[in-house]
Amino acid sequence: MDEITTDTYDEVSPDIELFGKYELGKLIGIGAFAKVYHARNMRTGQSVAIKAVSKQKIVKGGLTAHIKREISIMHRLRHTHIVKLVEVMATKAKIYFVMEFAKGGELFTKISKGRFSEELSRRYFHQLISAVGYCHSQGVFHRDLKPENLLLDENCDLKVSDFGLSAVKDQIRPDGLLHTLCGTPAYVAPEILAKKGYDGAKVDIWSCGVILFVLNAGYLPFNDSNLMAMYRKIYKGEFRCPKWTSPDLKRFLHRLLDTNPDTRISIDEIVQDPWFKQGYKEKISPDFDVKDLGNNQNEKGLNAFDIISFSSGFNLSGLFSDYYDISASDERFLSAEKPDKIIERIEEVAKRKDEKMVIVKKKWGAKFVGQNGNFVLVIEIYRLTDELVVVDTKTTEREVGPSREIWREKVRPELLAMIYQPGETVADDA
């Protein structure tokens, strides 16, 4: 995805509220496709970061698949040193990523003020490898690791962010390799430059090696004002460690920045390396099953990320927040009811003599017409999971006559009662 800078801007969003839940504050980052704001949860007072992404720019930039993948990956990864995605919300124009707020800013800002001691470099590298190793164990490859994408929390602990260029195992071709060219030039692995396919885990390890070099040296191992000259240095692995680098660290860096991915050190070997092992304690994080992270277009029904990416303009907060008020003429919400039960409830309203509604059942739902055509309700139902469905309603009603009362007083309350609230128990027969 687009690169987000974290310079401080004077622009402040005055008392803007999102879905009555988050109060937007200062703009803290901006990129070609997104803006990042500091925000506050109005109920808990907790600080969060909210990345607002333009749907129009996503479509025009051909980034729909990237956004879906980023949401899917971040939604499932749970690790002490990975920025947590709290929830995703969307309006007609934007998608909002509500994320854990890293109060300490970018690691890049800290290292730009001067190199770290070897001990501090090791501390941050421990945290980086803990997070990267966890991602790899879950079949996720970041592919754009750099100090700008490493944030710091209030305790100055590291948090890996920005999974916009990440890949998952489902993207691996039959040759066992990834082939998409991506990454930041100074941190890109030589095998990516060779354009012959690459192992996602090995390119992440190379980037980690560049990061460790920067932490210890205060400058890049491969750097040149001429991009092609820099690429030649990367391809040949031409770098020199500064004189203050200890022998153990120098040897370790050469294993990380091995131009041959087949002999480059692995995550398992990293944690056993004498330099790395000093003071290392693995962080235990919940083991989330992410085998379904791929973009499988053959699955029946829709998933939540299809709904986000392809919505033509609905408030989707009901899919991701604790409260949703169904009040507009076009609605979309989750329900744990069976599709036929949903239709039956509305049929009960329609069968009342005073309503005289005509019902046309469809494979995807039903259409209700009443008041001599003055009232039309279309209900479409999509399977989201084995237990939940997405209910999409569209109503047309005239301002005059009793047609508006049908929706407000009789039909809408029935639908309101069927909205699934996160945290409630889903019945076995739902």
Give the CA dihedral 294, 296, 300, 302, nearest 10 degrees: 60
Asked if the structure places residue 230 within a domain, the reply is yes
pLDDT at 376: 78
Burial label for 133, CB within 10 Å (0-12, 13-18, 19+), is buried
Which of helix, strand or coil describes residue 391?
strand
The one-letter amino acid code at 234 reads I
Q: What is the pLDDT of residues 52-83, one digit of tens each?
A: 888 777 777 676 777 777 777 777 788 999 98
pLDDT at 311: 41
Tell me the average pLDDT across 341-346. Answer: 82
CB distance 141 to 293 below 8 Å: no
Q: Is 253 in the same domain as 113?
A: yes
Sign of CA dihedral 307, 332, 2, 213: negative
Of 81-85, 306-310, 321-325, 362-366, least confident by mean pLDDT is 321-325
Which distant-in-sequence residues (6+ apart) come within 8 Å of 372 by Cβ? none
DSSP for 404-417?
A: HHIIIIIIHHHHHT
Q: Is 96 in the same domain as 134?
A: no
Q: How many domains does the chain have?
A: 3
The CATH number covering residue 53 comes to 3.30.200.20
Asked if the structure places residue 375 within a domain, the reply is yes
pLDDT at 221: 95
Residue 263: CA atoms inside 13 Å, Cβ hemisphere, count?
Answer: 6
Q: Is 21 in the same domain as 39?
A: yes
Q: Is 364 in the same domain as 265?
A: no
- Residue 180 confidence (pLDDT) above 80: no
Of the candidates 312, 390, 302, the one whose C-alpha atom is nearest the C-alpha of residue 93 is 312
Q: Is 158 in the same domain as 42?
A: no
**Between 35 and 240, whose confidence is greater?**
240
Asked if the structure places residue 169 within a domain, the reply is yes
Token readout for 26 is: 């200062």
Residue 212: CA atoms inside 13 Å, Cβ hemisphere, count?
Answer: 29
142 band by pLDDT with thresholds 50, 70 and 90? confident
Of the candidates 125, 77, 116, the one whose C-alpha atom is nearest the C-alpha of residue 271 is 125
- For 144, phi then psi, to 5°, come to -145, 45
pLDDT at 5: 38
Q: Is 239 in the same domain as 167?
A: yes
CA atoms of 146 and 394, how far apart (whole Å): 46
Element (H, E) at 193: helix 190-194
Of the candidates 165, 136, 162, the one whose C-alpha atom is nearest the C-alpha of residue 148 is 162
The catalytic residue positions are: 144
Tell me the average pLDDT across 423-427. Answer: 45
Of the candidates 243, 237, 236, 235, the one whose C-alpha atom is nearest the C-alpha of residue 217 is 243
Q: What is the pLDDT of residues 290-311, one digit of tens each?
A: 333 333 333 334 444 444 444 4
Q: In what order do the strands lie in the sheet with 358-362?
A: 330-335, 389-397, 375-383, 365-370, 358-362
pTM reported for the whole predicted model: 0.64
Q: What is the pLDDT of residues 208-227, one digit of tens each?
A: 999 999 999 999 999 888 88
21 band by pLDDT with thresholds 50, 70 and 90? confident
**Between 108 and 285, whose confidence is greater?**
108
Q: What is the pLDDT of residues 218-262, one digit of tens each?
A: 999 998 888 888 888 998 999 999 999 999 999 999 999 999 999
- For 252, phi then psi, to 5°, come to -65, -45
Q: Is 67 in the same domain as 162?
A: no
Q: Cβ of 387: how many Cβ atoms within 10 Å?
A: 14
CA atoms of 121 and 211, how far apart (whole Å): 9
Where is the domain boundary, 239, 259, 277? 277
Q: Is 175 in the same domain as 238?
A: yes
Of the candidates 274, 242, 280, the one whose C-alpha atom is nearest the C-alpha of residue 255 is 274
Asked if the structure places residue 310 within a domain, the reply is no
Q: Is 114 in the same domain as 86?
A: no
Tell me the average pLDDT across 178-194. Answer: 71
- Residue 409 confidence (pLDDT) above 60: yes
**Residues of 264-302 as b/e, b for ≥16 C-beta within 10 angstroms?**
bbebeebeebebbeeebeeeebeeeebeebbbeeeeeee
Q: Which residue range is the domain that position 218 belongs to?
A: 105-277
Tell me the average pLDDT across 172-177. Answer: 46
Q: Is 238 in the same domain as 112?
A: yes
pLDDT at 152: 93
Q: Is 86 in the same domain as 177?
A: no
The CATH number covering residue 235 comes to 1.10.510.10
